[in-house]
Amino acid sequence: MLLDCAIVGGGPAGLNVALVLGRAKKNIILFDDNKPRNAVTHESHGFITRDGISPAEFKRLGREDLNKYSSYVSIQETFVTEVKKEENVFTIRTSDGNQFESRKVILATGLKDKLPEVNGIHDFYGKSLFNCPFCDGWELKDQPLVLIAESEHAFHMARMIYNWSKDLLVCTNAKNPLTEEQKQQLVEKNITIIDEKIEALHGEKGFLEKVTFTNGAELSRVGGFIAPNLQQSSSIAEDLGCKMTSVGGVETDPFGRSTVEGVFVCGDSSIIAPAQLIIAAAEGSKAAIGVVQDLIQEDF
């Protein structure tokens, strides 16, 4: 059977795509390999009526919503290995050896975080170290925090986090991404900057207690944020020839249409930042509407 649309990625963007398309009576398959970016996160915030929900529970509720439209929506828990376009039909191949054909494809594959190479960082990421102050700043408000940032985003992140806590330590881990002017601005706000390489992060059960440096210095911190390097979780968009933005996202119009006809991209894959559940879900809804509009245009 030729699908109306294949959705690659089962996070908030992909789930909302499936919901809108199912309600529009489109025959679709949602492919989800169950390896979400927020797997380390215990609570998600900023989504009205769902503030503090765990990512697993959010997905369970999303899938429960989709069950009402099971005559149109199918879910395949498998990894998509390849998407190819021949004329106006997309062929989707999966890791379990199956093959599907679809008129449209929506990529909601998201991003992956490449964390700085710091001893112990993975022990704390998602528990007391996070990447988004809008998501987790409230829980860390007014406490002694650290920002580990090796990239040009260091200054922007420091200014953002200062909104939640004035007791802030910025660690560049010997990468020195800050200009002298930026350092001066931060120092004027009593923000401490350490360019020495981090030796290790210390604490128990995922809760940070102190940061030690290779010069022997150490500072107590109870948590903080990391400015990770963001990478596309999948190369499918690039393999299909989609144009990328200067910050590594997939270029789209307001309804998720990429530069390759029939390929839509939504969620973190296109917007890059800010990365929040509610924004990803909204982008999924818009991309679904774009697909319906195009299918109607072709069929009417």
Claim to verify: residue 9 and residue 104 sit in the same structural domain: yes
Domain boundary among 176, 198, 227: 227
pLDDT digits (tens, 9 = 90+) for 100-118: 999 999 999 999 888 999 9
Claim to verify: residue 86 and residue 218 sit in the same structural domain: no
Claim to verify: residue 90 and residue 125 sit in the same structural domain: no
Domain boundary among 182, 201, 227: 227
What token pair was written down for 177?
């991404």
Residue stretches of the chain with pLDDT short of 50: none
Domain boundary among 210, 227, 244: 227
Claim to verify: residue 89 and residue 17 sit in the same structural domain: yes
Q: What is the pLDDT of residue 229?
A: 84
Claim to verify: residue 126 and residue 204 sit in the same structural domain: yes
Q: What is the pLDDT of residue 247?
A: 85
Locate the DSSP E strands across 159-257. Answer: 168-171, 192-194, 198-204, 207-213, 218-220, 223-227, 229-232
Claim to verify: residue 220 and residue 237 sit in the same structural domain: no
3-state secondary structure of 14: helix
Cβ contact 56:35 at 8 Å: no
pLDDT digits (tens, 9 = 90+) for 212-254: 999 999 999 999 999 888 889 999 999 999 999 988 899 999 9
Claim to verify: residue 178 and residue 89 sit in the same structural domain: no
Claim to verify: residue 212 and residue 248 sit in the same structural domain: no
Claim to verify: residue 43 and residue 108 sit in the same structural domain: yes
Neighbours of 213 (CB within 10 A): 18
Quick one: which of 110, 111, 112, 107 has its CA closest to 30? 107
* Tokens 């990421």 belong to residue: 125
Claim to verify: residue 91 and residue 181 sit in the same structural domain: no
Mapped to the 3 state alphabet, what secondary structure does 51-109 carry?
CCECHHHHHHHHHHHHHHHCCCEEEECCCEEEEEEECCEEEEEECCCCEEEEEEEEECC
Could you list the residue range(s) of the whole structural domain that residue 135 is in? 116-227
d(CA 266, CA 253): 10
Claim to verify: residue 120 and residue 249 sit in the same structural domain: no
| CATH number of the domain that residue 130 is part of | 3.50.50.60
Whole-Å CA distances, 80 to 11, 77, 112, 235: 15, 10, 16, 11
Claim to verify: residue 106 and residue 138 sit in the same structural domain: no
Structural domain count, the chain: 2
| Nearest-10 Cα torsion for 143, 147, 152, 156 | -10
Q: What is the pLDDT of residue 36?
A: 79
